[in-house]
Structure 1
Amino acid sequence: MTRHSFVNSPELPAISLPAANHHQQPLPTNNLAFSPLAILRIRSACRCLSALHRKDPHWHPLPTSILSDLLTPPEFTATPKQQPLKEAVLRFYKLKQLLTKCVRCFTEFNTEAGECGREIGEVDKDDCCQNPHYGYKEADGECHFCGPPVWSPWSAWSRCNVLCGEGVRQKTRKCFGINNSGCHKISDNLQMEPCNGTCCGDKGWGSWLPWSACSVTCGGVGSRMRQRVCNSLPACRFACSGESEQTERCESKNQCPVHGGWSRWSNWAECSGSCVNNQGSSVVMPSRARQRSCSNPAPSTDTQPHGQSCPGDGSQRQDCSELPNCPVNGNWGAWSSPGPCSVTCGEGLQLSNRKCENPTPKYGGKYCEGPSTKTSVCQSPCPVHGFWSGWSSWSECLATCIPQGKMPTRTRKRLCSNPAPSTNPRGQPCQGEANQVENCASLPHCPVNGAWGSWSPYSACPVTCGVGLMMSTRKCNNPPQKYGGSSCPGEERQTKICSTNLHCPVNGVWSEWSDWSNCKDPFRKDRVIRCKPAGGSQNRERKCLHRAYNGSFCIGEDLSQTRVCYDVSDCRVIETQPLKGTWGEWGQWNFCKPACGESSKRIRFGFSGRDETYDPAKMAMIYHWSQERKCNVLWESKARLWSNT
């Protein structure tokens, strides 16, 4: 069994790991057993090991093939010989605790969606959160915020939990922050309010539509389907429960068509000739044929639809290449051009010849009949000097475009044939060039594909706190892209992580306002003003939280607020004399208490109005009345109910 060394350092004893094999045998008790999946993960790199080494110099630099979520080691009683193995396992778990601090760091965090953006790489969690605007992801894949606690916006109201009648609906929000200990109250992240179901007369499902055609049309069992439509309004779609489709078996009693099949091939017929007629480039090859019929079986004609005919051809033909070649008789070729004149001047004879090669006799054929030479009368002219014919048209350019650094050309020529110089006696040749060459300057330039230049030095670290990205760029100018050529492939910039080892300032964040204090006399704390027409005061406070690392103080100056109040809780009406006034409006119904059960009730209050002649000195109490009614609560919650009203 092949083994791979995991760690070799004075601080961490070497441990052998088995090769990844799905069929490996159990290891002896003096070795650690890792699954193949664990071995693959152990070999994956962790990019922040160097940062962990800086935080714990006692640990020597380790190879990057180390897993942060190591498996639980097998439990066994260590003998003296196995004691080094047990110590190595404990060091593995110390390494695991360090590796769990390795996170993916992001420079952006969306507090509305709770999502991270613009990843800069894997760094130590503490280094990433030196900037309170950053976010990070751990092994669970969830995005976390480095800054102080902050609430997301409220979600939309959920739909009412009943179709018809009184119910409740809720909305939620989330708290993000590196220390969100103050965000765990259900009252802060959950709100509820009464609602009325409006789907009392909902139609629900419509009737089932007719069954579809059977999936088979002949000789067998298939399936068919039918559907129904939810006729509810869009807001009441959830009233349609159950399936919208049904499927059942169906059987077709029709006879299936029988498709045709070929019979066996017949024997080959006799060849169409006794020899191969090979006449130079033209070869006539005899052939032979054989047939087959579409009768095994024949396609059915008494079914609907009819059976398909046999695919392919009903006959085949092949050359009889084994036959001998037919005899080829010889035939004279063309006469050659007349030879030189027999005299240098005046009338003479010229000799022409021909060969028996059109075709040459072969395969036992006959030789050509007749003479192989002939003569003709000739006259030797006087010397004739050559003169040029007109120039030919310019040829096509050697290229369709002008390449980089080289100009394509085209040519034209003329012949010394107007007249040609005599050869016997020899005349003088034409004077001048027979060919001309010129540049094809009117062609378009060939496309020049761009190529990258050298990388620039890395830029300075762009941040003064936390971690950031340094950038190096290159230009597509070696050569630059021209004349429609393709641009340089690849990236024009590369980055690497830089760390300032300084924590960014964390600005203060206001806490929520505290509840209003009890209504008290502002001058005499022991004076009772409950149910009296005497004004009091009450206050509330807030704190500036989470400010650190020289961050700015919270925006705004108010640490507390004070307002005028009247203590009229649970007061009854006692009129010392008639008061002029009008009935006020009823207030909102409170939530049901308790949240469920037959004894659940809700209450609302009302207060009297007054006219312009109202005199507080003439009354001992303020008008106050209430109503209550029994609740019909269909939903039970263990959370406290809250409302915006």
Structure 2
Amino acid sequence: MNIKYAYKEDQNSPCQACRPAEWSPWSDWSGCTVSCLEGVQKRQRVCIGIGDCEGKKVEVQSCSLKSCCPQAGGWSDWTPWSECSVTCSVGQRQRTRQCNNPPPSCNGECEGDSIETIPCDTLQICPTHGSWGNWGAWDQCSFSCTREGSGVFPVQSRFRECNNPPPSTSPLGRDCDGSRQDTRECRDVPFCEVDGQWGPWQDASECSVTCGVGRIRQTRQCDSPAPRHKGKDCVGPSQRQTICNTKKPCPIDGQWTEWGAWSKCTRLQGDPIRCRQRVGNQYRHRKCEGQNYEGKWCEGKPRDSRACYDMDNCPLDGSWTEWSEWGQCSSPCGQSEKTRYRECLPTYPPYPDVVEGATKVVEVFFSGVPKPKCSPIDGESLKVEETTDCKNLPKCP
């Protein structure tokens, strides 16, 4: 059974994972219950899976956003009145005070305003500021149809100029405030074509199996939405075969892992056998994994052994292999190269490849990595490579 699936005890039960019970990650801590001094905050987690989880579902801890609560301060004396804010017509003068007599504590504030203003007249003529002229004609709509039910319509624009009057130059007047462009929706365009879209798949048969995951036939309707306003029909099949989960585990037979590496070739007596015609033994292991729900245990043995000669790091005469086949080109286009090689392989001594065991004749294998010795080729004694260009490749884009 796939543990990534879940199941329900009945239709109204919550969804449960098909694995042993375990806690979900903790939620983030909630906000502190007070804004100053000491309060509390909590976090929680959910038990997911089959069975009960050990430990707490909810944790609560103390919290403090501020070590003190705000205290109001007192105002200083007002400053002298400022100069008039404008150089023509009527402006304002102002004075200020500071909240520092005493200063507030813990982010407190003073009650009242920190600024007072009074009018002032400069007795000077002000410049003429610009004013907008009439709007021009409406442009064409931005597109020719609107999507039914979207509430989004095409728009059209019109423009105006700052010339009624234009701003003065001496004294310098301000340009017009606002935008020279106005837009509105085009609500009299027709609805756009609506292509059909498939609705959700619905089961049309029972699951093909009584345990684990099987297949089920499903159908769907072209109604989400149905084609309207000369739109296209739905594309694709209206029926399909898909997987279904019976929420009942099927027996799972065990499977052997790959064999592990062979152990070092040795004798139980500890006799020296490396680089000698003395038979030792080596072993490898594997595991039976995945057996569950009364499935079968793996057939065969978890341990394998064989007779061996220990040739690890043994100096041996070697011989060069013939040239290998040419390798693949280094690039699919432009300039590219390919390589072939020869290797110096060891010539093993003529030890018997079978020996008489206690109860049977057994095969003997050479174990370990020897050190072969070949006559050097181009200064190389173990591997020599040859490289050539790949011809007639296409140009790279």
Shorter-chain TM range is 0.3 to 0.5
TM-score w.r.t. length of structure 2:
0.33
Q: Which has the larger radius of gyration?
A: 1
Greater helix content: 1
TM-score w.r.t. length of structure 1:
0.22
**Structure with more relative contact order (C-alpha pairs < 8 Å, separation 6 or more):** 2
